[in-house]
Structure 1
Amino acid sequence: MVFDYLFNAFIYSIVNRSLRLKGIVKMKITALICLLFLPNIVFGNDFTAGRDKNSVQAIQSLEAYAKYKMAQYDEAREIWLLLAEKNNSSALINLANLYEQGQGVERDLQQSIVYLRRAAELGDVRGQFQLAMAYEKGLGVDRDLWQAAFWLEKAALQGDETAQFNLGVMLATNYGEGLMTSSKKQRTEAVKWLTKADENDVEDAAEFLTLLSNMMRF
């Protein structure tokens, strides 16, 4: 009930502000208000308005996202920094993305990794997957496919279907060395994860499973 009151107060303040604005900015705010009423939204560009159960942090997350959408990156960052001090994983991921994309700050991939790692270590599946991809591509860290697999497995265990597929392919190909070089143990693990990915309707998972299963017959 307290959350509803605070949330409505926040929306009311945005509405009042939007009535005093004109043109594109007003349209952006009005569109944002409509989006905020939809449940469980993860917004574009890997930024998020948050998944916070704490009502105060939820309001702050929404405020920061509103400022981000209006290109007020400095103000959004300040709010996310405050939330990050409270181990808010959504804020940590948003800060990582700011530094990765160079929005309101100088692009700094290493600083992006610092925030991503904190989110991943807090158990955030998004942070785990993004950190895995950074290791796989060598962005902000030395390329390390074993670290990539480590974080992919963390995300896969939490049900992330893309992580399940990527981990399956990585194991099946012996970390990119090729299908013919993978061990029986790797292929068995790969089948497990690719099956989960297929059950979650990941495109290409079924085809890769068939290929791998045919190879395991010999």
Structure 2
Amino acid sequence: MRTWPLLAFCVVRLVQAGSDTQLPDDFYSAQPSVQLFKAYAEFKMANYETARLMWQSIDGSARAEALFNLGILYDDGLGVTEDLEQALSYYSEAAKAGSRSAAYRLGLLYLRDPRMATNTDEARYWLSRAALDGDKDAAALLKGLTDESSESSGMQKVESLLLEDESAEAVALLTQLAEQGDTAAMNRLAWIYESGVHVEKDLSRAAQLFERAAELGDAGSQYALGVMLMTGVGLEQDSDQAKHWLKQAAAQGHVSAKRALREMQ
């Protein structure tokens, strides 16, 4: 399926942290967006060590997204020992490389994570970067920092609950918001079911949520659904449908979807 060629180089074995892990030859010869697909598929199947090594090997146009994903592994302790300092390092590098998601995550951490001393200036800086890049949640949080009378949105409450390790309440609120048609809640809940953090891992449930949000026009969910269909993890493989959803996401300016479509040609 995903065999679009790129200049190959002869690296077949990575040795990290005392482990000997061989990645497929076709991973190294693939385009960066395809490498992300492959790593994403491994992540979905809870093969976190392989996903980590793949993300660490990705360079070029997909580097920022790979770094953000590495941050998630260390932030949540998926396949590695939970390490906030390492997560912050990856998030920071990803944000500087252009990851809006990483900038938003950094803003949240500096603003609300009980593991860290609150640093409003750092929070403002990273949230501003995300907001300038079009992140509406980051813009809302910035407004809240300057307008103490403004109420937190449902999604902001969810993120606060997750950062405070109130997982059950956060998932309950997300489920309620999703049932009310909130596409951001559907997307966030899908990621939670996909990763198995806070709930039991359920790829079918994740796929249902991504599909519902995608049909309602959420670009992030359209991209995630496209990746599921392209990799055949969580849904039956369907390259035509995958391209359909990637095109829908790209039409809304989703950077990774645009890059993936360019590299498929």
The answer to whether structure 1 residue 25 and structure 2 residue 119 are counterparts is no
Cα–Cα, structure 1 residues 119 and 107, in superposed 2: closer, same or farther, change >3 Å? same
Contact 1:84 1:92 in 2 (8 A): yes
Aligned to 1:61: 155
Kept after mapping to 1: 8 A contact 2:128/2:139:
no
Question: Is the contact made by 1:32 and 1:66 (CA closer than 8 Å) also made in structure 2?
Answer: no
Question: Does the Cα contact within 8 Å between 2:247 and 2:258 map onto a contact in 1?
Answer: yes
Where does structure 1 differ by over 6 angstroms across 4 or more consecutive aligned residues?
Answer: none
CA distance in 2, matches of 1:161, 1:112: 22
Q: Does 1:128 align with 2:217?
A: no
Matches within 5 A, 1:162-201: 162-170=256-264, 172=265
Distance 1:162 1:101, change over 3 A: same
- 1:93 is aligned to 187
Which runs of 5 or more residues in structure 1 are unaligned? 1-14, 19-23, 43-47, 173-218
The CA deviation at 1:149 is 0.2
Consecutive unaligned residues of structure 2, counting only runs of 5 or more, are: 1-110, 145-149
Q: Distance in 2 between matches of 1:127 and 1:160?
A: 10
Give the aligned partner of residue 114 of structure 1: 208
Are 1:101 and 1:107, in contact at CA under 8 Å, matched by a contact in 2?
Answer: yes
Does the Cα contact within 8 Å between 2:219 and 2:254 map onto a contact in 1?
A: yes
TM-score scaled by length of structure 2? 0.47
Alpha-carbon shift at residue 36 of structure 1 (Å): 7.0
Q: Determine helix, strand or coil for the equivalent of 1:61.
A: helix
Alpha-carbon distance in 1 for matches of 2:219, 2:114: 33
Do 1:50 and 1:90's aligned partners in 2 also have CA atoms closer than 8 Å? no
What's the TM-score once normalised by structure 1's chain length? 0.56
Where relative contact order (Cα < 8 A, 6+ residues apart) is larger, the structure is: 2
Q: CA RMSD in A?
A: 3.2
Counterparts in 2 of 1:146 and 1:105: CA distance versus 1, 3 Å? same
2:232 corresponds to 1:143 = no
Shift of 1:79: 1.1
1:105 Cα deviation after fit? 1.3
Give secondary structure in 1 for the equivalent of 2:165: coil
1:124 to partner: Cα distance:
0.8
Q: Counterpart of 2:114 in structure 1: which amino acid?
A: V
The structure having more radius of gyration, on CA atoms, is 1
Match of 2:123 in 1: 35
What SS does the aligned partner of 2:261 have? helix
**Structure having the larger proportion of residues in helix:** 1
1:92 Cα deviation from its structure 2 partner: 0.5
How far does residue 69 in structure 1 lie from its aligned partner after superposition? 1.9
- The residue type paired with residue 100 of structure 1 is E
- Residues 45-100 of structure 1, C-alpha deviation per residue, up to 9 Å, x if partnerless? xxx95888xx9995221111011123322111111111112211111011001100
Identical columns (%): 29
For residues 151-184 of structure 1, the C-alpha deviation after alignment (integer angstroms, 9 at most, x for no partner) is 01101111222212211222x2xxxxxxxxxxxx
Alignment length (residue pairs): 142
CA distance in 2, matches of 1:98, 1:32: 27
